[in-house]
Structure 1
Protein backbone atom coordinates (compact mmCIF):
# COMPACT_ATOMS: atom_id res chain seq x y z
CA UNK A 1 0.00 0.00 0.00
CA UNK A 2 1.51 3.31 -1.12
CA UNK A 3 -0.11 6.39 0.45
CA UNK A 4 0.43 9.86 -1.01
CA UNK A 5 -0.89 12.92 0.81
CA UNK A 6 -2.14 15.04 -2.08
CA UNK A 7 -3.77 17.69 0.10
CA UNK A 8 -3.16 18.29 3.80
CA UNK A 9 -4.87 21.66 4.29
CA UNK A 10 -8.25 22.87 5.44
CA UNK A 11 -10.90 24.75 3.45
CA UNK A 12 -8.63 27.64 2.40
CA UNK A 13 -5.30 25.84 2.29
CA UNK A 14 -1.85 27.20 3.14
CA UNK A 15 -0.82 29.62 1.87
CA UNK A 16 -4.30 31.11 1.79
CA UNK A 17 -5.22 33.34 -1.14
CA UNK A 18 -4.89 37.03 -0.23
CA UNK A 19 -3.40 36.32 3.19
CA UNK A 20 -0.22 38.05 4.36
CA UNK A 21 0.03 36.37 7.77
CA UNK A 22 3.43 35.17 8.94
CA UNK A 23 2.55 31.51 8.42
CA UNK A 24 1.42 32.01 4.82
CA UNK A 25 4.49 34.14 4.15
CA UNK A 26 6.77 31.47 5.56
CA UNK A 27 5.07 28.83 3.41
CA UNK A 28 5.67 30.93 0.31
CA UNK A 29 9.30 31.60 1.23
CA UNK A 30 9.97 27.88 1.80
CA UNK A 31 7.84 26.72 -1.15
CA UNK A 32 5.65 24.63 1.17
CA UNK A 33 1.96 24.08 0.73
CA UNK A 34 -1.13 22.45 2.09
CA UNK A 35 -3.82 22.27 -0.58
CA UNK A 36 -7.35 21.09 0.10
CA UNK A 37 -7.66 17.59 1.54
CA UNK A 38 -7.17 14.46 -0.58
CA UNK A 39 -5.30 11.16 -0.24
CA UNK A 40 -4.14 8.76 -2.97
CA UNK A 41 -3.82 5.09 -1.99
CA UNK A 42 -2.12 2.79 -4.49
CA UNK A 43 -2.45 -0.98 -4.41
CA UNK A 44 0.78 -2.05 -6.09
CA UNK A 45 -0.31 -5.68 -5.90
CA UNK A 46 -3.38 -5.13 -8.13
CA UNK A 47 -2.12 -2.05 -10.00
CA UNK A 48 -5.15 -0.06 -8.86
CA UNK A 49 -5.50 3.15 -6.88
CA UNK A 50 -8.14 4.67 -4.65
CA UNK A 51 -8.74 8.38 -4.07
CA UNK A 52 -10.04 9.56 -0.72
CA UNK A 53 -12.04 12.76 -1.28
CA UNK A 54 -11.97 14.84 -4.44
CA UNK A 55 -10.26 18.12 -3.63
CA UNK A 56 -10.99 21.31 -5.59
CA UNK A 57 -7.22 21.22 -6.20
CA UNK A 58 -7.54 17.85 -7.99
CA UNK A 59 -5.92 18.93 -11.28
CA UNK A 60 -2.96 20.64 -9.65
CA UNK A 61 -2.37 17.83 -7.15
CA UNK A 62 -2.25 15.10 -9.79
CA UNK A 63 0.04 17.09 -12.05
CA UNK A 64 2.34 18.05 -9.19
CA UNK A 65 2.67 14.64 -7.56
CA UNK A 66 2.51 12.56 -10.75
CA UNK A 67 0.38 9.78 -9.26
CA UNK A 68 -1.89 7.52 -11.28
CA UNK A 69 -5.49 8.48 -11.90
CA UNK A 70 -7.74 6.58 -9.48
CA UNK A 71 -9.81 3.56 -10.37
CA UNK A 72 -12.29 4.47 -7.64
CA UNK A 73 -12.95 7.21 -5.11
CA UNK A 74 -14.52 7.54 -1.68
CA UNK A 75 -16.31 10.73 -0.57
CA UNK A 76 -16.38 11.24 3.19
CA UNK A 77 -18.87 14.12 3.30
CA UNK A 78 -20.43 16.87 1.21
CA UNK A 79 -18.36 19.93 2.16
CA UNK A 80 -16.96 21.50 -1.01
CA UNK A 81 -13.29 21.06 -0.09
CA UNK A 82 -13.79 17.28 -0.04
CA UNK A 83 -16.22 16.91 -2.92
CA UNK A 84 -16.08 19.59 -5.60
CA UNK A 85 -12.98 18.24 -7.33
CA UNK A 86 -15.19 15.44 -8.65
CA UNK A 87 -16.05 17.75 -11.52
CA UNK A 88 -12.57 16.96 -12.85
CA UNK A 89 -13.94 13.59 -13.94
CA UNK A 90 -15.31 15.38 -17.01
CA UNK A 91 -13.32 14.22 -20.08
CA UNK A 92 -10.64 12.57 -17.90
CA UNK A 93 -12.24 9.27 -16.91
CA UNK A 94 -13.94 6.66 -19.04
CA UNK A 95 -15.46 5.35 -15.81
CA UNK A 96 -15.08 6.05 -12.10
CA UNK A 97 -16.83 4.28 -9.24
CA UNK A 98 -17.49 6.70 -6.38
CA UNK A 99 -18.32 5.17 -2.99
CA UNK A 100 -20.26 7.17 -0.41
CA UNK A 101 -22.37 6.39 2.63
CA UNK A 102 -26.02 5.42 2.16
CA UNK A 103 -27.29 6.74 5.54
CA UNK A 104 -29.84 9.55 5.34
CA UNK A 105 -28.54 12.80 6.84
CA UNK A 106 -31.23 14.49 8.96
CA UNK A 107 -29.73 17.87 8.04
CA UNK A 108 -30.17 17.38 4.28
CA UNK A 109 -32.79 14.66 3.97
CA UNK A 110 -30.52 12.58 1.77
CA UNK A 111 -27.40 10.46 2.05
CA UNK A 112 -23.93 11.48 0.95
CA UNK A 113 -24.33 9.05 -1.95
CA UNK A 114 -27.60 10.71 -3.00
CA UNK A 115 -26.09 14.19 -2.80
CA UNK A 116 -23.13 13.16 -4.94
CA UNK A 117 -25.48 11.53 -7.47
CA UNK A 118 -27.70 14.60 -7.79
CA UNK A 119 -24.91 17.15 -7.85
CA UNK A 120 -22.88 15.31 -10.48
CA UNK A 121 -25.65 13.71 -12.51
CA UNK A 122 -24.13 15.23 -15.67
CA UNK A 123 -20.96 13.12 -15.36
CA UNK A 124 -21.65 10.00 -17.40
CA UNK A 125 -18.34 8.44 -16.34
CA UNK A 126 -19.24 8.53 -12.65
CA UNK A 127 -21.15 5.67 -11.04
CA UNK A 128 -22.07 6.30 -7.41
CA UNK A 129 -21.93 3.21 -5.18
CA UNK A 130 -24.06 3.67 -2.02
CA UNK A 131 -22.11 2.09 0.82
CA UNK A 132 -23.16 0.78 4.23
CA UNK A 133 -21.14 2.35 7.10
CA UNK A 134 -19.38 -0.04 9.49
CA UNK A 135 -19.42 -2.77 6.84
CA UNK A 136 -16.28 -3.72 4.95
CA UNK A 137 -16.42 -3.15 1.18
CA UNK A 138 -13.90 -4.49 -1.34
CA UNK A 139 -12.48 -1.59 -3.36
CA UNK A 140 -9.32 -1.72 -5.48
CA UNK A 141 -8.21 -4.90 -3.70
CA UNK A 142 -8.54 -3.26 -0.28
CA UNK A 143 -11.06 -3.83 2.50
CA UNK A 144 -12.54 -0.38 3.04
CA UNK A 145 -14.84 0.58 5.91
CA UNK A 146 -16.62 3.90 6.35
CA UNK A 147 -17.10 4.84 10.01
CA UNK A 148 -19.39 7.59 11.38
CA UNK A 149 -17.63 10.50 13.07
CA UNK A 150 -18.79 13.80 14.59
CA UNK A 151 -18.76 16.80 12.21
CA UNK A 152 -21.96 18.81 12.72
CA UNK A 153 -24.24 19.80 11.13
CA UNK A 154 -23.70 17.13 8.44
CA UNK A 155 -22.94 13.44 8.61
CA UNK A 156 -19.28 12.63 7.99
CA UNK A 157 -17.18 9.51 7.91
CA UNK A 158 -13.69 8.36 8.70
CA UNK A 159 -12.11 5.40 6.95
CA UNK A 160 -10.17 2.23 7.61
CA UNK A 161 -8.36 0.80 4.58
CA UNK A 162 -6.72 -2.61 4.92
CA UNK A 163 -4.77 -4.82 2.54
CA UNK A 164 -6.12 -8.34 3.18
CA UNK A 165 -2.89 -9.90 1.91
CA UNK A 166 -0.20 -7.86 3.67
CA UNK A 167 -2.26 -6.75 6.68
CA UNK A 168 -1.22 -3.13 6.15
CA UNK A 169 -3.76 -0.67 7.54
CA UNK A 170 -4.42 3.02 6.94
CA UNK A 171 -6.95 4.89 9.10
CA UNK A 172 -8.31 8.39 8.53
CA UNK A 173 -10.21 10.27 11.18
CA UNK A 174 -12.27 12.24 8.68
CA UNK A 175 -13.31 15.77 9.58
CA UNK A 176 -14.36 15.28 13.18
CA UNK A 177 -14.40 16.42 16.73
CA UNK A 178 -12.70 14.22 19.32
CA UNK A 179 -16.11 12.65 20.04
CA UNK A 180 -15.69 9.68 17.68
CA UNK A 181 -18.14 6.86 18.55
CA UNK A 182 -16.72 3.74 20.19
CA UNK A 183 -17.94 1.54 17.33
CA UNK A 184 -15.93 3.66 14.89
CA UNK A 185 -12.86 3.67 17.11
CA UNK A 186 -12.91 -0.12 17.11
CA UNK A 187 -12.69 -0.16 13.30
CA UNK A 188 -10.01 2.55 13.15
CA UNK A 189 -7.82 0.97 15.85
CA UNK A 190 -4.25 -0.27 15.40
CA UNK A 191 -3.37 1.38 12.08
CA UNK A 192 0.14 1.43 10.63
CA UNK A 193 -0.59 5.03 9.62
CA UNK A 194 -3.24 7.35 11.04
CA UNK A 195 -4.21 10.58 9.27
CA UNK A 196 -5.90 12.79 11.85
CA UNK A 197 -7.81 16.05 11.47
CA UNK A 198 -5.94 18.68 13.52
CA UNK A 199 -7.14 22.06 12.36
CA UNK A 200 -5.42 24.24 15.00
CA UNK A 201 -3.44 23.96 18.24
CA UNK A 202 -5.53 23.87 21.41
CA UNK A 203 -4.38 27.27 22.64
CA UNK A 204 -6.31 28.91 19.78
CA UNK A 205 -9.64 27.70 21.20
CA UNK A 206 -9.86 30.95 23.11
CA UNK A 207 -10.50 32.69 19.76
CA UNK A 208 -13.41 30.44 18.74
CA UNK A 209 -16.87 31.82 19.67
CA UNK A 210 -17.68 28.46 21.26
CA UNK A 211 -14.23 27.89 22.73
CA UNK A 212 -12.96 24.35 23.13
CA UNK A 213 -14.56 21.07 24.17
CA UNK A 214 -13.68 17.56 25.28
CA UNK A 215 -10.88 18.61 27.62
CA UNK A 216 -8.40 15.96 28.66
CA UNK A 217 -7.28 15.31 32.22
CA UNK A 218 -4.85 18.21 31.76
CA UNK A 219 -7.70 20.59 30.90
CA UNK A 220 -6.52 21.00 27.30
CA UNK A 221 -9.36 21.08 24.71
CA UNK A 222 -9.38 18.23 22.23
CA UNK A 223 -12.06 19.81 20.04
CA UNK A 224 -11.95 23.28 18.47
CA UNK A 225 -15.50 24.61 18.60
CA UNK A 226 -17.70 21.73 17.43
CA UNK A 227 -16.38 20.32 14.15
CA UNK A 228 -12.64 19.65 14.24
CA UNK A 229 -9.98 18.30 16.56
CA UNK A 230 -7.19 20.39 17.96
CA UNK A 231 -3.62 19.19 17.48
CA UNK A 232 -3.71 17.87 21.03
CA UNK A 233 -7.04 16.13 20.43
CA UNK A 234 -5.77 14.46 17.27
CA UNK A 235 -2.70 13.16 19.09
CA UNK A 236 -4.86 11.93 21.96
CA UNK A 237 -7.10 10.06 19.52
CA UNK A 238 -4.02 8.57 17.84
CA UNK A 239 -2.91 7.33 21.25
CA UNK A 240 -6.40 5.95 21.94
CA UNK A 241 -6.24 4.03 18.66
CA UNK A 242 -2.73 2.73 19.23
CA UNK A 243 -1.53 4.19 15.93
CA UNK A 244 1.98 3.16 14.93
CA UNK A 245 2.54 6.44 13.05
CA UNK A 246 0.44 9.61 12.91
CA UNK A 247 0.38 12.55 10.51
CA UNK A 248 -1.81 15.54 11.23
CA UNK A 249 -3.87 16.81 8.28
CA UNK A 250 -6.65 19.30 7.49
CA UNK A 251 -4.29 21.89 8.94
CA UNK A 252 -5.26 25.59 8.91
CA UNK A 253 -2.98 28.57 8.31
CA UNK A 254 -3.98 29.82 11.78
CA UNK A 255 -1.14 27.81 13.32
CA UNK A 256 1.47 30.31 14.52
CA UNK A 257 4.47 30.36 12.18
CA UNK A 258 6.79 28.82 14.77
CA UNK A 259 4.43 25.83 15.09
CA UNK A 260 2.98 25.52 11.59
CA UNK A 261 5.64 23.27 10.10
CA UNK A 262 6.68 21.23 13.12
CA UNK A 263 6.26 17.47 13.41
CA UNK A 264 3.90 15.69 13.11
CA UNK A 265 2.03 18.23 10.96
CA UNK A 266 1.87 16.89 7.40
CA UNK A 267 2.66 18.66 4.15
CA UNK A 268 1.50 17.94 0.63
CA UNK A 269 3.42 15.31 -1.27
CA UNK A 270 4.40 13.09 1.63
CA UNK A 271 4.51 9.42 0.68
CA UNK A 272 4.32 6.32 2.87
CA UNK A 273 4.64 2.65 1.99
CA UNK A 274 2.76 0.38 4.38
Structure 2
Protein backbone atom coordinates (compact mmCIF):
# COMPACT_ATOMS: atom_id res chain seq x y z
CA UNK A 1 0.00 0.00 0.00
CA UNK A 2 1.58 3.25 -1.20
CA UNK A 3 0.30 6.42 0.48
CA UNK A 4 0.92 9.83 -1.10
CA UNK A 5 0.02 13.01 0.76
CA UNK A 6 -1.36 15.15 -2.05
CA UNK A 7 -2.65 17.93 0.20
CA UNK A 8 -1.59 18.61 3.79
CA UNK A 9 -2.99 22.09 4.34
CA UNK A 10 -6.10 23.64 5.81
CA UNK A 11 -8.78 25.56 3.97
CA UNK A 12 -6.43 28.31 2.66
CA UNK A 13 -3.28 26.25 2.27
CA UNK A 14 0.35 27.32 2.65
CA UNK A 15 1.48 29.58 1.12
CA UNK A 16 -1.84 31.39 1.49
CA UNK A 17 -2.90 33.62 -1.40
CA UNK A 18 -2.01 37.24 -0.70
CA UNK A 19 -0.10 36.44 2.50
CA UNK A 20 3.49 37.52 3.13
CA UNK A 21 3.83 36.19 6.67
CA UNK A 22 7.16 34.60 7.59
CA UNK A 23 5.77 31.07 7.20
CA UNK A 24 4.27 31.68 3.76
CA UNK A 25 7.43 33.48 2.66
CA UNK A 26 9.60 30.59 3.87
CA UNK A 27 7.39 28.07 2.09
CA UNK A 28 7.87 29.96 -1.19
CA UNK A 29 11.62 30.22 -0.66
CA UNK A 30 11.93 26.50 0.16
CA UNK A 31 9.66 25.42 -2.67
CA UNK A 32 7.32 23.51 -0.36
CA UNK A 33 3.59 23.79 -0.01
CA UNK A 34 0.51 22.53 1.75
CA UNK A 35 -2.44 22.51 -0.62
CA UNK A 36 -5.94 21.56 0.46
CA UNK A 37 -6.37 18.11 2.01
CA UNK A 38 -6.28 14.94 -0.10
CA UNK A 39 -4.62 11.52 0.20
CA UNK A 40 -3.89 8.99 -2.56
CA UNK A 41 -3.68 5.30 -1.61
CA UNK A 42 -2.41 2.85 -4.21
CA UNK A 43 -2.95 -0.87 -3.80
CA UNK A 44 -0.14 -2.22 -5.93
CA UNK A 45 -1.36 -5.80 -5.54
CA UNK A 46 -4.45 -5.09 -7.63
CA UNK A 47 -3.17 -2.02 -9.52
CA UNK A 48 -5.98 0.19 -8.23
CA UNK A 49 -5.98 3.40 -6.25
CA UNK A 50 -8.27 5.10 -3.76
CA UNK A 51 -8.57 8.87 -3.29
CA UNK A 52 -9.54 10.20 0.10
CA UNK A 53 -11.25 13.58 -0.32
CA UNK A 54 -11.39 15.74 -3.43
CA UNK A 55 -9.30 18.83 -2.85
CA UNK A 56 -10.08 21.96 -4.89
CA UNK A 57 -6.42 21.57 -5.91
CA UNK A 58 -7.12 18.16 -7.51
CA UNK A 59 -5.81 19.00 -10.99
CA UNK A 60 -2.60 20.57 -9.73
CA UNK A 61 -1.93 17.81 -7.20
CA UNK A 62 -2.28 15.00 -9.72
CA UNK A 63 -0.08 16.75 -12.26
CA UNK A 64 2.54 17.66 -9.67
CA UNK A 65 2.83 14.25 -7.99
CA UNK A 66 2.14 12.12 -11.07
CA UNK A 67 -0.04 9.59 -9.27
CA UNK A 68 -2.61 7.38 -10.97
CA UNK A 69 -6.17 8.57 -11.36
CA UNK A 70 -8.45 7.03 -8.73
CA UNK A 71 -10.54 3.93 -9.27
CA UNK A 72 -12.70 4.89 -6.26
CA UNK A 73 -12.92 7.65 -3.69
CA UNK A 74 -14.09 8.41 -0.17
CA UNK A 75 -15.53 11.75 0.98
CA UNK A 76 -15.15 12.45 4.70
CA UNK A 77 -17.43 15.51 4.92
CA UNK A 78 -18.96 18.27 2.83
CA UNK A 79 -16.73 21.26 3.57
CA UNK A 80 -15.50 22.72 0.29
CA UNK A 81 -11.80 22.04 0.87
CA UNK A 82 -12.54 18.29 1.01
CA UNK A 83 -15.23 18.07 -1.64
CA UNK A 84 -15.18 20.76 -4.30
CA UNK A 85 -12.47 19.15 -6.41
CA UNK A 86 -14.96 16.43 -7.32
CA UNK A 87 -16.01 18.37 -10.39
CA UNK A 88 -12.60 17.52 -11.87
CA UNK A 89 -13.84 14.05 -12.81
CA UNK A 90 -15.69 15.69 -15.73
CA UNK A 91 -14.00 14.53 -18.97
CA UNK A 92 -11.20 12.95 -16.94
CA UNK A 93 -12.78 9.75 -15.66
CA UNK A 94 -15.25 7.47 -17.40
CA UNK A 95 -16.62 6.16 -14.10
CA UNK A 96 -16.00 6.59 -10.39
CA UNK A 97 -17.56 5.13 -7.27
CA UNK A 98 -17.59 7.60 -4.40
CA UNK A 99 -18.15 6.21 -0.92
CA UNK A 100 -19.67 8.49 1.72
CA UNK A 101 -21.48 8.05 5.02
CA UNK A 102 -25.19 7.26 4.99
CA UNK A 103 -26.04 8.83 8.39
CA UNK A 104 -28.39 11.84 8.29
CA UNK A 105 -26.76 15.06 9.46
CA UNK A 106 -29.18 16.91 11.78
CA UNK A 107 -27.72 20.20 10.55
CA UNK A 108 -28.47 19.62 6.87
CA UNK A 109 -31.15 16.92 6.95
CA UNK A 110 -29.03 14.87 4.54
CA UNK A 111 -26.24 12.36 4.79
CA UNK A 112 -22.84 13.10 3.26
CA UNK A 113 -23.73 10.60 0.54
CA UNK A 114 -27.00 12.40 -0.26
CA UNK A 115 -25.29 15.79 -0.34
CA UNK A 116 -22.62 14.57 -2.75
CA UNK A 117 -25.25 12.92 -4.95
CA UNK A 118 -27.40 16.06 -5.02
CA UNK A 119 -24.60 18.57 -5.53
CA UNK A 120 -22.89 16.57 -8.29
CA UNK A 121 -25.96 15.06 -9.96
CA UNK A 122 -24.74 16.40 -13.31
CA UNK A 123 -21.61 14.21 -13.32
CA UNK A 124 -22.50 11.14 -15.37
CA UNK A 125 -19.36 9.17 -14.38
CA UNK A 126 -20.24 9.42 -10.71
CA UNK A 127 -21.87 6.66 -8.64
CA UNK A 128 -22.34 7.52 -4.97
CA UNK A 129 -22.20 4.52 -2.62
CA UNK A 130 -23.91 5.20 0.75
CA UNK A 131 -21.71 3.64 3.42
CA UNK A 132 -22.52 2.77 7.03
CA UNK A 133 -19.93 4.06 9.51
CA UNK A 134 -18.06 1.51 11.65
CA UNK A 135 -18.82 -1.23 9.10
CA UNK A 136 -15.85 -2.22 6.89
CA UNK A 137 -16.32 -2.12 3.13
CA UNK A 138 -14.06 -3.55 0.42
CA UNK A 139 -12.67 -0.88 -1.93
CA UNK A 140 -9.77 -1.39 -4.37
CA UNK A 141 -8.83 -4.61 -2.61
CA UNK A 142 -8.56 -2.77 0.71
CA UNK A 143 -10.75 -2.82 3.81
CA UNK A 144 -12.05 0.69 4.51
CA UNK A 145 -13.97 1.76 7.60
CA UNK A 146 -15.49 5.20 8.12
CA UNK A 147 -15.54 6.36 11.75
CA UNK A 148 -17.52 9.27 13.24
CA UNK A 149 -15.41 12.10 14.64
CA UNK A 150 -16.19 15.54 16.10
CA UNK A 151 -16.22 18.51 13.70
CA UNK A 152 -19.25 20.67 14.60
CA UNK A 153 -21.65 21.72 13.31
CA UNK A 154 -21.52 19.15 10.47
CA UNK A 155 -20.99 15.41 10.67
CA UNK A 156 -17.49 14.32 9.71
CA UNK A 157 -15.62 11.06 9.52
CA UNK A 158 -12.14 9.70 9.85
CA UNK A 159 -11.23 6.35 8.39
CA UNK A 160 -9.02 3.30 8.56
CA UNK A 161 -7.62 1.70 5.41
CA UNK A 162 -6.19 -1.79 5.88
CA UNK A 163 -4.68 -4.26 3.47
CA UNK A 164 -6.35 -7.59 4.32
CA UNK A 165 -3.42 -9.52 2.87
CA UNK A 166 -0.44 -7.76 4.47
CA UNK A 167 -2.20 -6.26 7.49
CA UNK A 168 -0.72 -2.81 6.76
CA UNK A 169 -2.97 -0.08 8.14
CA UNK A 170 -3.44 3.64 7.55
CA UNK A 171 -5.60 5.67 9.96
CA UNK A 172 -6.83 9.21 9.27
CA UNK A 173 -8.50 11.23 12.00
CA UNK A 174 -10.32 13.47 9.56
CA UNK A 175 -11.13 17.03 10.59
CA UNK A 176 -11.87 16.68 14.28
CA UNK A 177 -11.52 17.94 17.79
CA UNK A 178 -9.81 15.74 20.37
CA UNK A 179 -13.25 14.41 21.34
CA UNK A 180 -13.23 11.39 19.00
CA UNK A 181 -15.74 8.76 20.19
CA UNK A 182 -14.31 5.68 21.86
CA UNK A 183 -15.76 3.31 19.24
CA UNK A 184 -13.96 5.28 16.54
CA UNK A 185 -10.70 5.28 18.49
CA UNK A 186 -10.86 1.51 18.69
CA UNK A 187 -11.07 1.25 14.91
CA UNK A 188 -8.27 3.79 14.37
CA UNK A 189 -5.91 2.14 16.86
CA UNK A 190 -2.51 0.58 16.08
CA UNK A 191 -1.92 1.97 12.57
CA UNK A 192 1.38 1.77 10.74
CA UNK A 193 0.76 5.38 9.70
CA UNK A 194 -1.53 7.95 11.32
CA UNK A 195 -2.51 11.18 9.58
CA UNK A 196 -3.79 13.44 12.35
CA UNK A 197 -5.44 16.86 12.13
CA UNK A 198 -3.12 19.29 13.97
CA UNK A 199 -4.11 22.67 12.62
CA UNK A 200 -2.06 24.94 14.94
CA UNK A 201 0.16 24.74 18.03
CA UNK A 202 -1.71 24.84 21.32
CA UNK A 203 -0.40 28.23 22.38
CA UNK A 204 -2.34 29.86 19.54
CA UNK A 205 -5.62 28.95 21.26
CA UNK A 206 -5.38 32.27 23.09
CA UNK A 207 -6.16 33.96 19.77
CA UNK A 208 -9.28 31.89 19.04
CA UNK A 209 -12.56 33.64 20.01
CA UNK A 210 -13.47 30.74 22.32
CA UNK A 211 -9.93 29.60 23.13
CA UNK A 212 -9.08 25.94 23.49
CA UNK A 213 -10.73 22.83 24.94
CA UNK A 214 -9.93 19.37 26.18
CA UNK A 215 -6.90 20.49 28.19
CA UNK A 216 -4.39 17.95 29.43
CA UNK A 217 -3.25 17.65 33.06
CA UNK A 218 -0.99 20.67 32.59
CA UNK A 219 -3.73 22.81 31.04
CA UNK A 220 -2.49 22.51 27.43
CA UNK A 221 -5.45 22.61 24.99
CA UNK A 222 -5.85 19.58 22.78
CA UNK A 223 -8.59 21.24 20.72
CA UNK A 224 -8.38 24.60 18.94
CA UNK A 225 -11.83 26.16 19.30
CA UNK A 226 -14.30 23.39 18.52
CA UNK A 227 -13.35 21.82 15.18
CA UNK A 228 -9.69 20.83 15.06
CA UNK A 229 -6.96 19.35 17.21
CA UNK A 230 -3.93 21.34 18.18
CA UNK A 231 -0.49 19.95 17.46
CA UNK A 232 -0.30 18.82 21.06
CA UNK A 233 -3.74 17.23 20.86
CA UNK A 234 -2.86 15.38 17.66
CA UNK A 235 0.32 14.01 19.22
CA UNK A 236 -1.57 12.96 22.34
CA UNK A 237 -4.09 11.19 20.08
CA UNK A 238 -1.23 9.45 18.28
CA UNK A 239 0.07 8.15 21.59
CA UNK A 240 -3.38 6.95 22.61
CA UNK A 241 -3.85 5.18 19.27
CA UNK A 242 -0.39 3.61 19.49
CA UNK A 243 0.55 4.83 16.02
CA UNK A 244 3.80 3.45 14.65
CA UNK A 245 4.37 6.65 12.66
CA UNK A 246 2.50 9.96 12.73
CA UNK A 247 2.27 12.86 10.31
CA UNK A 248 0.28 15.97 11.14
CA UNK A 249 -1.93 17.33 8.36
CA UNK A 250 -4.60 19.98 7.76
CA UNK A 251 -1.99 22.50 8.87
CA UNK A 252 -2.52 26.27 8.88
CA UNK A 253 0.02 28.91 7.91
CA UNK A 254 -0.27 30.28 11.45
CA UNK A 255 2.48 27.97 12.67
CA UNK A 256 5.49 30.15 13.58
CA UNK A 257 8.13 29.86 10.88
CA UNK A 258 10.65 28.26 13.22
CA UNK A 259 8.14 25.44 13.89
CA UNK A 260 6.23 25.27 10.61
CA UNK A 261 8.45 22.76 8.83
CA UNK A 262 9.65 20.68 11.77
CA UNK A 263 8.78 17.05 12.49
CA UNK A 264 6.18 15.63 12.47
CA UNK A 265 4.43 18.29 10.38
CA UNK A 266 3.80 17.00 6.86
CA UNK A 267 4.22 18.79 3.54
CA UNK A 268 2.73 17.89 0.18
CA UNK A 269 4.21 15.06 -1.82
CA UNK A 270 5.35 12.84 1.04
CA UNK A 271 5.10 9.14 0.15
CA UNK A 272 4.94 6.11 2.42
CA UNK A 273 4.94 2.42 1.59
CA UNK A 274 3.11 0.37 4.23
User: Which residue of structure 2 lines up, in the alignment, with residue 152 of structure 1?
Assistant: 152
By how many angstroms is 1:46 displaced? 0.4
What secondary structure, in the 3-state scheme, does the structure 1 residue paired with 2:6 have? strand
CA distance in structure 2 between the partners assigned to 1:107 and 1:254 by the alignment: 29
Question: C-alpha offsets along residues 239-274 of structure 1, whole Å, 9 cap, x if unaligned?
Answer: 000000000000000001111000000000000000
User: Which residue of structure 2 lines up, in the alignment, with residue 233 of structure 1?
Assistant: 233
Question: C-alpha offsets along residues 167-208 of structure 1, whole Å, 9 cap, x if unaligned?
Answer: 000000000000000000000000000000000000000000
User: Which residue of structure 2 lines up, in the alignment, with residue 84 of structure 1?
Assistant: 84
How many residue pairs are counted as aligned between the two chains? 274
Q: Which runs of 5+ in 2 are unaligned?
A: none
User: Which residue of structure 1 lines up, in the alignment, with residue 56 of structure 2?
Assistant: 56
User: Which residue of structure 2 lines up, in the alignment, with residue 254 of structure 1?
Assistant: 254
Tell me how large the CA RMSD over aligned residues is: 0.3
By how many angstroms is 1:50 displaced? 0.1
By how many angstroms is 1:219 displaced? 1.1
CA distance in structure 2 between the partners assigned to 1:247 and 1:26 by the alignment: 20
By how many angstroms is 1:218 displaced? 1.6
CA distance in structure 2 between the partners assigned to 1:57 and 1:68 by the alignment: 16
Residue 100 of structure 2 corresponds to residue 100 of structure 1: yes
What secondary structure, in the 3-state scheme, does the structure 1 residue paired with 2:217 have? coil
User: Which residue of structure 2 lines up, in the alignment, with residue 71 of structure 1?
Assistant: 71
Residue 121 of structure 2 corresponds to residue 111 of structure 1: no
User: Which residue of structure 2 lines up, in the alignment, with residue 122 of structure 1?
Assistant: 122
User: Which residue of structure 2 lines up, in the alignment, with residue 202 of structure 1?
Assistant: 202
User: Which residue of structure 2 lines up, in the alignment, with residue 8 of structure 1?
Assistant: 8
User: Which residue of structure 2 lines up, in the alignment, with residue 31 of structure 1?
Assistant: 31
Query: 1:174-185 residue pairs with structure 2 within 5 A?
Result: 174-185=174-185
User: Which residue of structure 2 lines up, in the alignment, with residue 268 of structure 1?
Assistant: 268
Question: C-alpha offsets along residues 223-249 of structure 1, whole Å, 9 cap, x if unaligned?
Answer: 000000000000000000000000000
CA distance in structure 1 between the partners assigned to 2:197 and 2:96 by the alignment: 27
CA distance in structure 1 between the partners assigned to 2:32 and 2:62 by the alignment: 17
By how many angstroms is 1:217 displaced? 1.1
What secondary structure, in the 3-state scheme, does the structure 2 residue paired with 1:243 have? coil
What secondary structure, in the 3-state scheme, does the structure 2 residue paired with 1:267 have? coil
Question: C-alpha offsets along residues 59-98 of structure 1, whole Å, 9 cap, x if unaligned?
Answer: 0000000000000000000000000000001000000000
CA distance in structure 2 between the partners assigned to 1:269 and 1:12 by the alignment: 18
By how many angstroms is 1:43 displaced? 0.1
CA distance in structure 2 between the partners assigned to 1:6 and 1:118 by the alignment: 26
What secondary structure, in the 3-state scheme, does the structure 1 residue paired with 2:50 have? strand
Q: Which runs of 4+ in 1 moved over 4 A?
A: none
Question: C-alpha offsets along residues 18-68 of structure 1, whole Å, 9 cap, x if unaligned?
Answer: 001110000001111000000000000000000000000000000000000
Question: C-alpha offsets along residues 137-165 of structure 1, whole Å, 9 cap, x if unaligned?
Answer: 00000000000000000000000000000
Residue 178 of structure 2 corresponds to residue 171 of structure 1: no
